[in-house]
Amino acid sequence: LTSADVDHFRSILPEGAVLSTLAPTATTGPGTAVDADELDAYNADWMHKYCGQSQCVLRPKTTDQVSQILAYCHAQRLAVVPQGGNSGLVGGSVPVFDEVVVSMANFNQIRRFDEVSGVLVCDAGCVLETLDHYVADRGYMMPLDLGAKGSCHIGGNVSTNAGGIRYLRYGSLHGSVLGLEVVLPDGTVLDNLSTLRKDSTGYDLKQLFIGAEGTLGIVTGVSIVTPPRPKVQTVAVFGVESYEQVQQAFRLAKANLNEILSACEFWDRSSLDMVLDHNQGNPNVRDPLAAPYPFYVLVETSGFHKDHDDAKMAHYLETVLEQGVVADGVLSENATQMANFWYIRETISEAAVKTGPTYKYDVSIPVPQLYNLVLETQKRLAEQGLYREGVADQPIKLVTGYGHLGDGNLHLNVVAREFTPTVSSALEPFIYEWVGKSSLLKSFSIQVIGTGVSQATELDTECHMVSPSHRGSISAEHGLGLMKAPHLHYSKSPSMIRTMQSIKHLFDPHGIMNPYKYLPKVDKE
């Protein structure tokens, strides 16, 4: 990146839209240089784990401006990092070296809303919570919700294929996003901003950009269908003695609450302790129950008929208490209490980061296996002399587990004293292997000798028997970013990775979009 490049950006973008430490080449040219610290917020990620050294941040307001930026970068072979709310947790939203950051923060207008269909069309830089307030005034709600709602952008959500706490009820963005407007790496505007629910005219190109993490272009516009906003909601929080009972509480929630069940989350005791520690003095954050429990389950219902929903919830509560599935429970009596319960769940992520440098893993594993990963990780770290529960001065302070139980999505947070190669290598690739080893393996049904019982097992490619698989994904909802790019093979087969690389090359032949991330390095022959 040279001053001449920055001059060019200053010439195509309005005043204030270019933040660069590089001064204009001519004293008469537009714009002035800024101090390096003005770029800090764009260079560092939310966890303070990843930090780049970009000298130039661009803040376009229109699709045409994004198109001009990318056309120039494509021609000049300048690397670009698209950035939304910079709340990503895998190091995807910040530069690795000195890439140009294209921040979408000023690109934030609502384009239109259809009150009959509930379809919203907006700029990619709209903040999720702002959109939710907008559609709430019209009787609708955004089909996704997450702890970072106050800062993340809808374009960032689409680009990471974000999940969150409404996933159980409203499903994936692959279903609710109806269309996208995307600027391709060479500046071409791909107008796929459809508002149709049904369309079977050829390749569904928008799906490629959902979860592409800025590697194929910049999402500038989003069309998304929003569901009617429920009129009644209730939240119950339970104290549970074992992970087995956590699962039973979930099974009974599905069976008893079915169509009004809107979220089912869980966390362990150390997650709650972190939240309580970091909210001392906040009267709204208290231990929800009188006694401590090893696990907590949060169940939310959303519906339209209070009496109907209350009756169902009452029956569910009766069932879980009578059957001894939960040890204790509390039901929200009003919206404030409901928000307070959600606050506990939604601030675990932040409480971990405040406790210490946090290694965050976000995995999909079958629900029965979910918590085993936390236990196995604790065991491994203890064996390596890095962790002893309750003992101070260990390199690892805490190993906690929480997440979207209803979606089979665990968040394993390992809170350290500092990010060190010793801790990293104790965790990786161990965790990825544990979660995804089987994706490279073939399943066979074999006869267990002498018993006549047929059993599914795995053989590796050379047909040696290997340990049972957990058949998981190394990224359930946060994406790959810089963190997981080299580990993709734990969840995707070689032919899948090769096909992903071909798609990347087709859209971005010069590799300018979010380099070093998402895909493993290609070996040059």
Interface with ligand FAD (CB under 6 A): 46, 81-89, 92-93, 104, 124, 146-148, 152-153, 155-157, 159-160, 162-164, 213-214, 218-219, 349-350, 477-478, 481, 514
Give 64 or 350: the residue with its C-beta nearer to ligand FAD. Answer: 350
Q: Is 473 near ligand 2HG (CB under 6 A)? A: no
Ranges of beta strands (E only) in 269-336 are 295-303, 328-331
Q: How far apart are CA 277 and CA 101, in angstroms?
A: 36
Residue of 261, 244, 267 lying closest to 313 (CA atoms): 261
Which residues, including other chains, have CB under 8 Å from residue 340's CB and lie 6 or more apart? Answer: 284, 285, 286
Amino acid at 41: A
| Residue 63 beta carbon to ligand FAD: minimum distance, rounded to whole angstroms | 11
Give 118 or 163: the residue with its C-beta nearer to ligand FAD. Answer: 163
413 binds, among ligand FAD, ligand 2HG, none (CB under 5 to 8 A by kind): ligand 2HG
Give 312 or 484: the residue with its C-beta nearer to ligand FAD. Answer: 484
Q: Are 72 and 186 in contact (CB under 8 A)?
A: no
Site for ligand 2HG in 355-374 (CB under 6 A): 360, 362
Characterize 50-74 residue by residue with b for buried, 16 or more Cβ atoms within 10 angstroms of its Cβ, and e for exposed. Answer: bebebbbbbbbbebebbbbbbbbbb
| Residue 233 beta carbon to ligand 2HG: minimum distance, rounded to whole angstroms | 19
Q: Is 147 near ligand 2HG (CB under 6 A)? A: yes
What is the distance between the terminal CA atoms of the chain, rounded to a whole angstrom?
29
User: In the bound complex, which residue of the shown chain has the CB atom lying closest to ligand FAD?
Assistant: 156
Give 274 or 519: the residue with its C-beta nearer to ligand 2HG. Answer: 274
| Residue 13 beta carbon to ligand 2HG: minimum distance, rounded to whole angstroms | 34
Rounded to 5 degrees, what angle do the CA atoms 103, 108, 112 make? 145
Number of Cβ within 10 Å of residue 314's Cβ equals 11
488 binds, among ligand FAD, ligand 2HG, none (CB under 5 to 8 A by kind): none
Give 178 or 299: the residue with its C-beta nearer to ligand 2HG. Answer: 299
| Residue 348 beta carbon to ligand 2HG: minimum distance, rounded to whole angstroms | 6
| Residue 125 beta carbon to ligand 2HG: minimum distance, rounded to whole angstroms | 21
360 binds, among ligand FAD, ligand 2HG, none (CB under 5 to 8 A by kind): ligand 2HG
Give 89 or 370: the residue with its C-beta nearer to ligand 2HG. Answer: 89
Estimate to the nearest angstrom the gap between the alpha carbon of 313 and the chain centroid. Answer: 30
Give 159 or 369: the residue with its C-beta nearer to ligand FAD. Answer: 159
Q: Is 349 near ligand 2HG (CB under 6 A)? A: yes
Site for ligand 2HG in 399-418 (CB under 6 A): 411, 413
Phi, psi values for residue 260, rounded to 5°: -100, -5
Q: Is 89 near ligand 2HG (CB under 6 A)? A: yes
| Residue 88 beta carbon to ligand FAD: minimum distance, rounded to whole angstroms | 3
State the DSSP code for 392. T
Which residues, including other chains, have CB under 8 Å from residue 278's CB and lie 6 or more apart? Answer: 347, 350, 351, 354, 355
Q: How far apart are CA 260 and CA 230, in angstroms?
A: 10
Q: How far apart are CA 327 and CA 384, in angstroms?
A: 35
Number of Cβ within 10 Å of residue 270's Cβ equals 22
Q: In what order do the strands lie in the sheet with 328-331?
A: 328-331, 232-240, 295-303, 261-268, 396-404, 409-416, 358-364
| Residue 182 beta carbon to ligand FAD: minimum distance, rounded to whole angstroms | 8
162 binds, among ligand 2HG, ligand FAD, none (CB under 5 to 8 A by kind): ligand FAD
Give 107 or 140: the residue with its C-beta nearer to ligand FAD. Answer: 107
411 binds, among ligand 2HG, ligand FAD, none (CB under 5 to 8 A by kind): ligand 2HG
Binding region for ligand 2HG (CB under 6 A): 89, 147, 348-349, 360, 362, 411, 413
